[in-house]
Amino acid sequence: MELEANALQEKNKVMQSYTSDKEFLHTFFDYENEESSYSERLEELAGRTFERRQLAETIRSFMEPFGISASAYKHIDELAENAVAVIGGQQAGILTGPLYSVHKAITVILLAKKQREKLGTPVVPVFWVAGEDHDLNEINHVYTEMEGRATKHQYRENFVLKLMASEAEYDKQLMASLVKDIFGKFGETAYTKDLLDEVLDAIEQEETFTQFFVRLMNGLFKEEGLLFIDSASRQLRVLEKSYFALLIEESAQLAEEISNKEELFAEKGFGSPLGAESDAANLFYIHDTGRVLLSRKDDYFVNDSSGLRFSKADMLRIAEEEPWLLSNNVATRPLMQDMVFPVLAFVGGPGEIAYWAVLKEAFHHLDMKMPIIVPRMSMTLVTPQVKHALDEKSLTVDDVMSGAVFTAREQFVSGLQDERFDSVLDETEKILGQQYEKIAEYADQQGPMMQELLEKNLLFHIKQLNYLKGKAEEAVLLKHDAALRTFAILEGELFPEGVLQERLYTPYTYLNSYGPTLIQDLLKLPLEMDGTHKIIYL
């Protein structure tokens, strides 16, 4: 396994500004992403109180069914005492979802280890599973590379209600069938059977999308002591009830702060990541019809389409007695996370960092500062077969990502053309035209009908010559199909559909080809959180 750093040109405007514009950073965030910020944040956290014992017990209770390693037990015990946390999170995708879920977990683990050593205090890695999300269409599919194209494989069961991922139970037979089909596309290796058996066993043991996700992720990272918590956990909801009450009491002010900040964000050309509304409650209610978003109207919390209408007193009673009926939205989830956990740093992708940017004043309104925001590491995995193809075509990963493969393919195809054959056909067409001109002199004497017939006849022969030319090109391309397929595979593997590999493909593609030590070997690499894209040759 070899590591290569690639200074990929950052196209995301928010990320460009986050990494290079101090004014942007100080306008929208509390801390710079640099070493000196960590001791300052640690001091701030020391002045706040957390329900540490209850939090530790909540995590322990949630993780027990999936298995808790010795290192994870140690981290839970530390969190109960004085540890701070590095947190990242993701939705509960099938087969862990795209690779960036794993890249995010790797970033969380490495950053926690680094700061534990630097600060001389316990720092634990935490993965916050967004199990309360109800958009199952975002997580119900997996992509594989087929003939140079990213092919989508979707779990086909339709869910009528807006069920949270943590409540959406999958059909075990359907899920097993989907997974077998996906593994069939990977190709058989020495690792396939054990890997597939492990996944099928997880499907059988679990019931929901979130449980399936956590079992697989916990299996990949348990030796690192990565802690998991489900944002939809009933026990977590009980821990959160006083924080829900605070969000309810301050909902009008929070909505105004967020809306105003997003307006400034948009004025500076960064868009509106949340689409914040000044009448938003920024909370969901778990209704018979599913998870429904509440807004504020005439001092009430309402959802008109579901006929829901709660007074503030109603909402506060729900928070106290039935907090599992409440759920955070994208704006309040970071706030809740920071009230529940002593968050040293949050690890996020470009989209997450964009919406965190509009929350600074909301944090301040609740007497908190935002944690240090750390961009997750971005990686591309290069298999030996793909490395061989790159060498064969004298291309680099950067060439593929910059679109140079298209030019190289066009040049290759151009070099295959049989110019002599094309020349003979062109000459034949020219002679044919000349002969038809002579015939046309006689056709004029026969009247317009004959002239029309002559033109159609000439067009027929030209069409036949073009048909011959096309077939000759097909024959040449077919003869060199393997070489042309190599170009397609390079794009399909390294830059599928014009996006980074990590945004589409599951890590199981690479576990199947590399073996079960993939994650451990990645963690042993000297990976720096320096903003560069990592190219890793397996």
In this model, does residue 472 exceed pLDDT 60?
Answer: no
Q: Which amino acid is at 304?
A: D
Q: How far is CA 257 from CA 94, 253, 303, 311, 476, in A?
A: 36, 6, 22, 22, 64
Q: In 3D, which of 172, 184, 97 has the Cα closest to residue 137?
A: 97
Summarize the confidence of residues 103-123 as an average pLDDT. 98
In this model, does residue 14 exceed pLDDT 70?
Answer: yes
Q: Which amino acid is at 457?
A: N
In this model, does residue 478 exceed pLDDT 60?
Answer: no
d(CA 33, CA 173): 46
pLDDT of the residue at 104: 97
464 is a domain residue: yes
Residue 308: CA count within 13 A, CB half-sphere: 22
pLDDT of the residue at 220: 97
Which tokens go with 84? 């701070």
* 375 φ/ψ sector (left φ>0, alpha ψ -120 to 50, else beta): beta
Per-residue confidence band for 443, with pLDDT thresholds at 50, 70 and 90? low
Q: In 3D, which of 350, 253, 251, 266 has the Cα closest to residue 301?
A: 251
In this model, does residue 130 exceed pLDDT 60?
Answer: yes
Comparing 437 with 119, which gets the higher pLDDT? 119
50 is a domain residue: no
273 is a domain residue: no
Q: In 3D, which of 399, 414, 422 has the Cα closest to residue 494?
A: 399
User: Among 225-229, 290-294, 446-450, 524-528, whose mean pLDDT is lowest?
Assistant: 446-450
Q: Which residues contact 438 (CB under 8 A, 6 or more apart)?
A: none
Residue 271: CA count within 13 A, CB half-sphere: 10
d(CA 143, CA 131): 21
Neighbours of 49 (CB within 10 A): 6
Burial of residue 166 (number of CB atoms within 10 Å: 0-12, 13-18, 19+): buried
pLDDT of the residue at 9: 72
Q: Hunting for tokens 């291309």 — which residue is that? A: 395
pLDDT of the residue at 51: 97
Which tokens go with 138? 């975002």
In this model, does residue 31 exceed pLDDT 90?
Answer: yes
pLDDT of the residue at 67: 96
In this model, does residue 331 exceed pLDDT 70?
Answer: yes
pLDDT of the residue at 183: 97
416 is a domain residue: yes
481 is a domain residue: yes
In this model, does residue 181 exceed pLDDT 80?
Answer: yes
453 is a domain residue: yes
Predicted confidence (pLDDT) per residue in 192-251, tens digit? 999 999 999 999 999 999 999 999 999 999 899 999 999 999 999 999 999 999 999 999
pLDDT of the residue at 195: 97
Per-residue confidence band for 147, with pLDDT thresholds at 50, 70 and 90? confident
199 is a domain residue: no
Number of domains in the chain: 1
pLDDT of the residue at 115: 98
> How far is the first Cα of the chain from the last one, in angstroms, to the nearest whole number?
5
In this model, does residue 434 exceed pLDDT 90?
Answer: no
User: Among 134-143, 224-233, 429-438, 515-524, whose mean pLDDT is lowest?
Assistant: 429-438
Greatest distance between any 2 Cα atoms in the chain? 107
In this model, does residue 425 exceed pLDDT 70?
Answer: no
Is residue 69 within 8 Å of residue 222, measured between CB atoms? yes
Predicted confidence (pLDDT) per residue in 247-305, tens digit? 999 999 999 999 999 999 999 999 999 999 999 999 999 988 889 999 999 999 999 98
pTM above 0.85, yes or no: yes
Average pLDDT, the chain: 90
Per-residue confidence band for 418, with pLDDT thresholds at 50, 70 and 90? low
pLDDT of the residue at 476: 55
pLDDT of the residue at 245: 98
Per-residue confidence band for 473, with pLDDT thresholds at 50, 70 and 90? low
Summarize the confidence of residues 325-338 as an average pLDDT. 96
Length of the chain equals: 538
Q: Which residues contact 55 (CB under 8 A, 6 or more apart)?
A: 79, 80, 239, 340, 341
User: Under DSSP, is residue 142 helix (H, G, I), strand (E, B) or coil?
Assistant: strand
Domain hosting residue 443, numbered range = 404-489
Per-residue confidence band for 475, with pLDDT thresholds at 50, 70 and 90? low
Per-residue confidence band for 310, with pLDDT thresholds at 50, 70 and 90? very high
pLDDT of the residue at 37: 97
H/E/C letters for each residue in 331-368?
A: CHHHHHHHHHCCEEEEEECHHHHHHHCCCHHHHHHCCC
pLDDT of the residue at 417: 59
Highest mean pLDDT among 78-82, 142-146, 349-353, 456-460: 78-82
Q: Which residues contact 169 (CB under 8 A, 6 or more apart)?
A: 207, 208
Q: How far is CA 438 from CA 343, 431, 454, 466, in A?
A: 89, 11, 11, 23
pLDDT of the residue at 102: 97
pLDDT of the residue at 413: 61
Comparing 446 with 418, which gets the higher pLDDT? 446
pLDDT of the residue at 453: 75
466 is a domain residue: yes
